[in-house]
Amino acid sequence: MTTAAVYSINGINISKNITRQWFWRNGSKVIMDLAKSTIDLRLPGRNGNRRVPSVYNSPVIAIKIYTPRENYEALMSLMTQRVTYLTSTQKVGRELELEYLSSSIESYDKDQFYDVTFLMRVNDVFWRDQVETEYSFPITTATQYFDVFPGLSGEISDGLLFIGGNFGQMEIYDSAGSWVKTTGGGWAGTTSGLLYDIKTGQAWRSTTTLPWVPVTDRSKSVDVSAFTGFQIVPYFTDPATRKGYLKVITQVQTSTVFKLKTRGAYIG
């Protein structure tokens, strides 16, 4: 028999908080409905739609909590914080960043007890690792493949990429075909490299000793795939065995290293 999950907001138990007399209620829905936004692209004389890139909408979840009247203000203060993270004992090491949208109240016993239903938006769409993972791979051949984030089921669209040392030009591809590459001007030198921000598309020259610290802006020296930009999406031959899968292409390989720092993303 599966043990019921214990949920917390910013480390405070909201499933069964004896001190505050807060209790998780039926009507809560943390499993997310996922939907994508896309456009209808039709060609004259052709059946159906043409496939175009799409993105996930931010889902909304419902959390229903029982509280006595005297602890209602404390509950509202907790749920309406600017930075709100939901954690679950069934998803150890992961968190869901939430944004408060609205709340509604059902009252009992002459307004002495409330059931409060909170609608919370998941702006990041997916459960994320609480701690960033940093990968580091030596580059020794012109084309190399790397496995990252075993168990990945969501899409990663933030984080940092670094490729250092003498690599000439470089191209990085995700398994779904998104890419980022350098354009013009070779990259030489065993102590410097390129730092790329997946979320913003900005790029800098940095150093191999401090790869995550930007030094000089080089955004004009980098190109990225259109629409969604570079992303890391699940790759699998069996739906139960998933991972991120990256291809790195370089012109030369002298003290060359590829690094990635971000958090895994998971549906749930």
| Domain membership flag for residue 65 | yes
148 closest CA partner among 254, 13, 244: 244
Structural domain ending residue among the three candidates 125, 151, 168: 125
Domain encompassing residue 42: 7-125
Contact between 139 and 167 under an 8 Å Cβ cutoff? The reply is yes
Structure tokens at 247: 């291809």
pLDDT at 185: 66
pLDDT at 49: 72
pLDDT at 188: 64
Q: 72 and 24, same structural domain?
A: yes
pLDDT at 2: 65
Q: What is the mean pLDDT of the chain?
A: 91
146 closest CA partner among 262, 258, 246, 18: 246
- Can you tell me the mean pLDDT for 17-36? 93
Between CA 264 and CA 251 the distance in angstroms is 29
pLDDT at 43: 73
76-90, 135-149, 185-199, 253-267: which range is least confident on average? 185-199
Between CA 202 and CA 217 the distance in angstroms is 8
pLDDT at 52: 64
Q: 196 and 257, same structural domain?
A: yes
Q: 82 and 147, same structural domain?
A: no
| Domain membership flag for residue 32 | yes
Residue 86 DSSP code: E
Q: 218 and 141, same structural domain?
A: yes
Q: How far is CA 170 from CA 113, 138, 185, in A?
A: 62, 14, 11
Q: 90 and 169, same structural domain?
A: no
Listed in sequence order, the residues at least 6 apart from 199 whose beta carbon sits closer than 8 Å to its beta carbon are: 157, 158, 159
Q: 222 and 98, same structural domain?
A: no
The total domain count for the chain is 2
Task: Count the residues in the chain.
Answer: 268
pTM of the full predicted structure? 0.88
- Can you tell me the mean pLDDT for 54-69? 92
22-31, 42-51, 101-110, 129-138: which range is least confident on average? 42-51
Q: In this prediction, what percent of the chain has a pLDDT beyond 90?
A: 74
Half-sphere exposure of residue 3, counting CA atoms within 13 Å on the CB side?
Answer: 8
pLDDT at 1 over 60: no
pLDDT of 119-175, one tens digit each? 999 999 999 999 999 999 999 999 999 999 999 999 999 999 999 998 988 999 999
Q: 221 and 164, same structural domain?
A: yes
pLDDT at 38 over 80: no
Contact between 165 and 193 under an 8 Å Cβ cutoff? The reply is yes
Amino acid at 244: G
Beta bridge partners of 222: 182
Structural domain ending residue among the three candidates 72, 98, 125: 125
Q: 87 and 140, same structural domain?
A: no
79-83, 180-184, 196-200, 230-234: which range is least confident on average? 180-184
pLDDT of 203-255, one tens digit each? 999 999 999 999 999 999 999 998 778 999 999 888 889 999 999 999 989 88
Q: Exposed, middle or buried: residue 239 (CB in 10 Å: 0-12, 13-18, 19+)?
A: exposed
- Can you tell me the mean pLDDT for 188-198? 87
Q: 148 and 108, same structural domain?
A: no
3-class DSSP state of 252 = coil
Beta bridge partners of 187: 168
pLDDT at 230: 93
pLDDT at 186: 64
Q: 44 and 16, same structural domain?
A: yes
Amino acid at 132: E
| Domain membership flag for residue 2 | no
Place of tokens 């020794």: 140
Between CA 95 and CA 232 the distance in angstroms is 19
Q: 148 and 46, same structural domain?
A: no
Structural domain ending residue among the three candidates 95, 110, 125: 125
